[in-house]
Amino acid sequence: MRRKTKILLSQWIRQIARKLGLDTKTTKVKGEVFAKYSELQQKLGYQFKSLDLLLEALTHRSCLSDPNHDSAITNERLEFLGDSVVGLVVSNYLFATFPEKNEGELTEIKSLIVSRKILAKVARSLEIGKYIRLGMGEEKSGGRERNSIISNAVEALIGAVYVDGGYQQAGRVINKLLLSHVNEFVKSELAKNYKSKLLEYSQSQGWGTPEYEICTETGPDHAKVFEAIVRVQGQKIGLGSGRSKKQAEQNAAREALETLNQL
């Protein structure tokens, strides 16, 4: 009789808890999730009101085909949004910070700051690889270290911050992660010779020498902007712009290396 009474009492308590939104199992799970991701939130400098948004931002699409995951959503929508938010915040910052630079120069700096390589560098500083939710196949193939996955997760996190806390909070996170290191990023990237690196990689794969073509030339004589295409074995693999033909080709080579997962 006592056992039956305890069972009924336990069931009654759970029913009351659920009505109050205090389901003990759910509360425990949310508590565990909060503890697991508290360090990441500290590094971001933002505390999520919605843990569901945080989890969504860290859920790779490979989870959809994995029976061990019950997730029906991925971070791709948040990544789409985050990409736009990052672009707006960075553009606004560059416009205000560099009044002496023209549109072509600002575009060039922006492309460096929001490049996959820089976002992957930010991702590693956050140790995002520890937190991403991956399907088994992606897990086994080294997805936690793949630049494309971790850089996309950074954009998804920023998209999640925007949805959870608004533009101002997203701007604060972007400033902390990206804009506070603008000079460091730009100087280190401009000093690199991407054409040489692409040539070396292409020849190591037996693909021959990359071919460059200046496809467009816009602007007045004193402020021209060039756009270059790079092809390997006749296939276009990179597009870049710059104030000079040389810089446009370097940026095209950089995009090609990103496409080939060599950055």
Which residues are the active-site residues?
83, 155
Give the pair of three-digit tokens for residue 207.
């693909």
d(CA 36, CA 244): 48
Eight-class DSSP state of 227: E
Give the pair of three-digit tokens for residue 151.
């850089």
d(CA 108, CA 132): 31
Eight-class DSSP state of 179: G
Helix (H) or strand (E) holding 213: strand 211-218
Tell me phi and psi for residue 47, to 5 degrees.
Answer: -105, 120
Nearest to 78 by CA among 12, 162, 15: 162
Give me the amino acid identity at 16. Answer: I
Strand order in the sheet with 211-218: 211-218, 225-232, 235-242
The Cβ of residue 114 has, within 10 Å, a number of other Cβ atoms equal to 19
Helix (H) or strand (E) holding 228: strand 225-232
CA 199 to chain centre: 27
Instruction: Please count the helices (runs of H) and the strands (runs of E) in the chain.
Output: 12, 3
